[in-house]
Amino acid sequence: MIKLVEEMRVLPAGFIVKVIAITSSGALSPGPLTASTIGVGTKDGWKSGFMVSVGHTIVEFPLTLLIALGLISFMNVLYVRTVVSLAGGGILLLLAYLMGRDIFAPEISESGSMGIKIESPLAVGVLLSAFNPHFIVWWIFVGGSLVIEAYTYTGMYGVVLMYIFHVWMDYAFLMAVAHASFKGREILKSKGYKVLLGIIVAVLVIFGVDLIFYGLTGSRILPL
């Protein structure tokens, strides 16, 4: 621990500012993970957002280390991109279906009626990170430049510290989104909640179709 703190001192302050500024484009950008966090947040509020963030970290942190070690280049292989895109799009459509069942339910209980898969914030964080090519590509081409720079300063210690300066934004943003969703659930009640679910389902379907289209053609429907 002492050695880690000592290594932290050699990271230039300007680099830390750059990490926070650049990685915010990934942490704070709206996408499938944000939309799904809104959905699971209606049950347990910020706690759901925290668990989604943990699931996201389970995928993101090893990916960061792999980039630093130069072992992630296989993602450029066409068939890998295709498989990941199709799987990711399929998962989004499945989540949309599970959420959509609540829209047509006669009554929505306070505990929520979403299936067990959609009620697992940790699984949402893992799956929508692991099967999101946009997220992976962002880390390879955007975050990758920061990983390399951090490594030149302090080796793998620098990479770990760089990640810490990034990941707190994921937790803060997703916990805030989940908390806001939970408060909205109490205000909107049953009818309003169905409208909220309808919007989320539509967003998930759009992102899901976009990922599947990307996997099949290499092009995107959305300009994201």
189 against 203, higher pLDDT: 203
How far apart CA 60 and CA 126 sit, in angstroms, is 9
65 against 32, higher pLDDT: 65
Mean pLDDT, residues 36-49: 86
- Structural domain includes residue 128: yes
Question: pLDDT-based confidence at 80, cuts 50/70/90?
Answer: low
Question: pLDDT-based confidence at 111, cuts 50/70/90?
Answer: very low
Output the pLDDT for position 151: 83
165-198 residue pLDDT tens = 999 989 998 998 888 888 775 544 556 667 777 8
142 against 80, higher pLDDT: 142
Q: What integer best gives the mean pLDDT of the chain?
A: 77
How far apart CA 220 and CA 153 sit, in angstroms, is 37
- Structural domain includes residue 137: yes
Total domains present in the chain = 1
Residue with tokens 């991109």: 81
- Structural domain includes residue 27: yes
Output the pLDDT for position 76: 59
Is pLDDT of 144 > 70?
Answer: yes
- Structural domain includes residue 158: yes
pTM of the model: 0.69
- Structural domain includes residue 179: yes
Cβ-based neighbours of 80, under 8 Å, separated by 6 or more: 74
How far apart CA 68 and CA 104 sit, in angstroms, is 47
- The identity of residue 148, as a single letter, is I
- Structural domain includes residue 224: no
- Structural domain includes residue 223: no
